[in-house]
Amino acid sequence: MNRILHINFDVYLDKKVDHKVGGVPCAIQNIINYLSHSNKHNLLTFDSSINSPKVEDGNYIFPNLEKKYFSNFIRSPLKFFSAFKDVDIFVFHHIPPIKLLAYFRIIFPFAKFFCFVYTKQANKMKLYMRGIDLFLTTDEILRDNLISLSYPKHKVKSVGVIPDINKYDIKRNNMSFSFLNNGSKIWYSAGPRVEMGFDVFINEIIKDTDKNHKYRITLLGEVEVSIRDDIQKMANVEVGGMYANVPKAMLEVDVMAYLIIDHKHKMHMPLMAIEAMLMKRIVITTLSGGMPCLFNKKNSIPVKKGAGFIAAYESFSEEELLDLAEKGYQDARKYFDHTIMNMEGIFS
């Protein structure tokens, strides 16, 4: 059994949000939850909601606003060595600062394996990243991107991301399946980010305001992000919170819209898009980023930027939409099983 330490610095400054919230933190928690039988997975991260360091069953959680705790920790080589001497694999979920990576290498010069989870495309990679033993990419497109940057093929593995199947699988949780009962509700789930197509989405809504569509738009804001006042005042738009019981909220929505227009977003294959499939929601998506690795015209509604995604959705009959939802569910289950198998093989 290997002991694996996941190192993550993607946390919010909002003190109401702990270290398990957000795209990358949720992805790490899913790895820990679903791969814990064959290996021992631990975490080193920061958390704005705490005021002093916590060590829980091998997990090291430091206050985000008090970096002195972490600085004091790593400046004690004996303490650092003692804490992680039994770790076999170090997994960085963000590009580590060169000083930190060098420090890890100095403290553990031998018999340690260093991985980096690669989640967004790059035009170039810093030379010091060649000290990483293995790159784990969230899809094949990112794998090809790294190889194009002259990284050896044997050092790059495409593994995917793990959805929280225990929480989102509609059949596993015996959730009631209500769909298209009182007019469609469309959930734009990425928050108001330009690279995630927020402006594309808003322009389409505004363009269709004078038409008699039977749908409502549910806009989800992310932590510390506000949505424009003029959007909130639109008659068919409501604003919800992203992290308050997402599966329950998703049951009240028919459609999830993912309009990725470039590759800046950290989750090249968004977890919630896969989880929407597990909830048997219809997914409308641009085939950008890592989306083509799972989504296609048989299990979703692929659209192009500015091509009229609402019109594309309304061109389907109810029977066709139900077929898309069922096919998407089956494909998401297969994706989950395949990703688990990939990760188990790599970490073992």
Q: What does the domain layout of the chain look like in residue ranges? A: 3-159, 165-335
Please report the sign of the dihedral spanned by the C-alpha atoms of residue 45, residue 139, residue 244, residue 280.
Answer: negative
Give the E-state strand segments of 144-230 in sequence order.
Answer: 156-158, 184-188, 215-221
**pTM, to two decimals:** 0.87
What pLDDT was estimated at residue 226?
Answer: 59
Edge-to-edge order in the sheet of strand 3-7: 54-56, 59-63, 40-47, 3-7, 89-92, 113-118, 134-137, 156-158
| Chain centre distance of CA 37 | 22
Q: Does domain 165-335 have CATH number 3.40.50.720?
A: no
Q: Is 179 exposed, middle or buried (CB count within 10 Å of its CB: 0-12, 13-18, 19+)?
A: middle
Residue-by-residue pLDDT tens, the chain, 348 positions: 889 999 998 777 777 778 887 778 888 999 999 987 778 999 999 888 888 899 988 899 998 766 778 888 888 899 999 999 999 999 999 877 888 888 888 898 877 898 999 887 777 766 667 778 899 998 888 898 888 888 888 999 999 999 999 999 999 998 877 766 656 677 766 555 666 666 667 776 666 655 555 666 666 544 444 566 776 676 666 665 555 577 877 887 788 888 777 655 555 778 888 999 999 999 988 887 788 889 999 999 998 876 677 788 888 988 999 999 999 999 999 999 999 999 998 888
> In CATH, what class is 3-159?
alpha beta
What is the dihedral angle through the alpha carbons of 170, 176, 179, 183, rounded to the nearest 10 degrees?
Answer: -130
Give the E-state strand segments of the chain in sequence order.
Answer: 3-7, 40-47, 54-56, 59-63, 89-92, 113-118, 134-137, 156-158, 184-188, 215-221, 237-241, 255-258, 282-286, 301-303
